[in-house]
Amino acid sequence: MRIGIALDYSGGFHDAVDRVVELEKVGIDVAVVAEAYAFDAISQLGFLAARTSTVELASGVLPLYIRTPSLLAMTAAGLDYVSGGRFNLGIGTSGPQVIEGFHGLEFDAPLGRTREAVEICRQIWRREEPLQYAGRHYQIPLPADRGTGLGKALKLINHPVRERIPISIAALGPKNVELTAEIAEGWQPAFYYPDKAHLVWGEALAAGTAKRDPGLGPLDVMVGTALAIGDDVEDRFAWIKPQLALYIGGMGARGRNFYHDLATRYGFGDAADRIQELYLAGRKREAIDALPDELVRGVSLIGPRGFIAERLAVFAESGVTTLLVRPATAEAGEAVRYVEELLQLLP
């Protein structure tokens, strides 16, 4: 199992990058930068590329609605170049709350757009011929009857460092997970509960894997989790509860919240309904308090050293191949210590 760091999109660039530089020295494998509606992820990834030398860099994730597939391919090729071939393109659809509420774009056809974006990116990186793509959602060049008729097929000017940059997809719903297992090098699920993962995603993963090109290799299951190791770290659950409540309760309207749906599929439907009711009513503190302890503990790595070792085994057994930790501490030294201890606990 690889160990990486997941950087919060709301944190400061300089402190976060300084932390990655220190963690690179102790042996982490990858640093993943999130993007939501704070600073963009590309700025920080470029900064990281300049300050690091061995750690793999990844987006976790870039919402594909707000960038054309061609721009995604250009950006990934550029980051792969400045990092010396260390970039992994993480993409996802995000959700209506961000895409419609912040960007003012229609959230439509997530599966079709994801598949076509992946196909276009890979075609651009290969540079075999000028880009021509006739999909349902993307047509390149734009047909004459929809534009000026002056657009001609073009090819990426630069030669990418790699013609096959790894792509990981953030997916939660069964159809999206199935698509990810079919076409992507990696999968980035949110709020991953290893004990219940097979019940929620097992069939979708199996169906997608059955259609998978063997040339893609095994699916890299990239899971984020909070981390705190010690005999007196119970208070660190307070670090992750607000985010859980926000996503389950407030990241979307009733009936259109993927994280609420996930909590329900984990078996916490009544609690998810209550959290959503409280959050949407502005009673955020009560929504946080309504989180089931079992769920909070199940999706995190917070506890004594022996407990963490046991949970690591559970994550690995469920199929996790890359663990992306978020140290639940404001102290840089303590964050590094947590990661060092975690690395020592790997089998």
282-327 pLDDT, tens digit per residue, is 999 999 999 999 999 999 999 999 999 999 999 999 999 999 999 9
Q: Residue 144: what pLDDT?
A: 86
Which residues in 128-154 are b (16+ Cβ under 10 Å) and which e? eeebebeeeebebbeeeeeeeeeeeee
- Rounded-to-integer distance, Cα 34 and Cα 57, Å: 11
How far apart CA 272 and CA 290 sit, in angstroms, is 9
pTM of the model: 0.95
Pairing between β-strand 56-59 and β-strand 30-33 as defined by DSSP bridges: parallel
All residue ranges of the chain with pLDDT < 50 are none
pLDDT for the residue 11: 66
Q: Quick: pLDDT tens for 126-183.
A: 999 999 999 999 999 999 888 898 899 999 999 999 999 999 999 999 999 999 999 9
Give the pLDDT score at 147: 84
